[in-house]
Structure 1
Amino acid sequence: MRVLHTMIRVGDLDRSIKFYCDVLGMQLLRRTDYPNGKFTLAFVGYGDEKSNAVIELTHNWDTTSYDLGNGFGHVALGVDNIYSACANIKELGGKVTREPGPMKHGSTEIAFVEDPDGYKIELIQLKEQ
């Protein structure tokens, strides 16, 4: 078994695709409309779905926003340079909600950004190998 994708519901699909692709550097892998169900699915990620976990953006045509609730935490992305990644995200109009630095009670460097619908994305500094 392996993780295939994580699905999140979004209020404005084009705005979300722009964030994940233009700000976070993912690629739009596929996008399919389902007119009978009145929804669209878009899959974004850093590589093909055969060998990488991706994010499924689900847009229900009749819904413009969602309550995020308190059960979902975040999606985590590994980055080579957390400081330049956050600077780049800000330059591209993204929202950094926690500046880079060591995590509480640990030494791993993390930061948090927020997507257009309010979902949290944790950036984790990858360790040099």
Structure 2
Amino acid sequence: MSFKGEQHPGVKTPTGDTDGFRLNHTMLRVKDPQAALAFYSRVFGMRVLRRLDFAEMQFSLYFLARLDDEEQVPEDTDERTVWTFSQRGLLELTHNWGTEDQADFAYHDGNAEPQGFGHICFSVPNLEAAVAWFDANGVEFIKRPDQGKMKDVVFVKDVDGYWIEVIEAARMAGKGD
């Protein structure tokens, strides 16, 4: 690989000590795993690769991915666990047991004050088709592709209020400076 990354103030040249490091997953806390799993599997076509329960600490982890049909996922639970933790770009949904029974319970989405976490992002092959799919499935929009200053970028909400950016990669050329 010849591309070494853009250089900006603060960027340090990686050493061999980080060879093999990769971003595996991003975690979102969810109130109701059934509702969250229904959303991500139905709307974004994700599959649960592995569920891990931690009874003593009363939480469960669900690792999801959008798999291609040719991907070979191990059937054996231990092998699949190792395989899951070696992937890139997974979504981990964390459910703290009992939150689903609390009517007024909600997690901070990171976009209300004070701001922090912003969003996750899905790339889609056709933005118009994705928007039509979201409309057909009652997905709540924050921003449609023709709204705001940044055209061709969509933001929707999941069932916990987290923002999801949706882009078509080919439309991102020429954005920014």
TM bucket normalised to smaller: 0.7 to 0.9
Structure with the greater alpha carbon radius of gyration: 2
**2:93 is matched with which residue?**
57
Is 1:25–2:45 an aligned residue pair? yes
Letter of the structure 2 residue corresponding to residue 19 of structure 1: F
Bigger strand fraction: 1
Shift of 1:102: 7.6
The runs of at least 4 aligned residues of structure 1 exceeding 2 Å deviation read 47-52, 62-65, 101-104
Identity fraction in percent: 38
Letter of the structure 1 residue corresponding to residue 50 of structure 2: R
Shift of 1:94: 1.6
Q: Tell me the TM-score normalised to structure 2 length.
A: 0.65
C-alpha contact (below 8 Å) 2:60/2:96 kept by paired residues: yes
Superposition RMSD in Å: 2.0
> What is the distance in 2 between the residues matched to 1:82 and 1:102?
14
**5+ residue gaps, structure 2:** 1-20, 68-72, 74-83, 101-105, 172-177
**5+ residue gaps, structure 1:** none
Q: Aligned ranges for residues 1-129 of structure 1 at < 5 Å?
A: 1-47=21-67, 49=84, 50-64=86-100, 65-69=106-110, 70-101=115-146, 104=149, 109-127=152-170
Query: Which sits farther off after the overlay, 56-65 or 7-16?
Result: 56-65
Q: Tell me the TM-score normalised to structure 1 length.
A: 0.86
Bigger helix fraction: 2
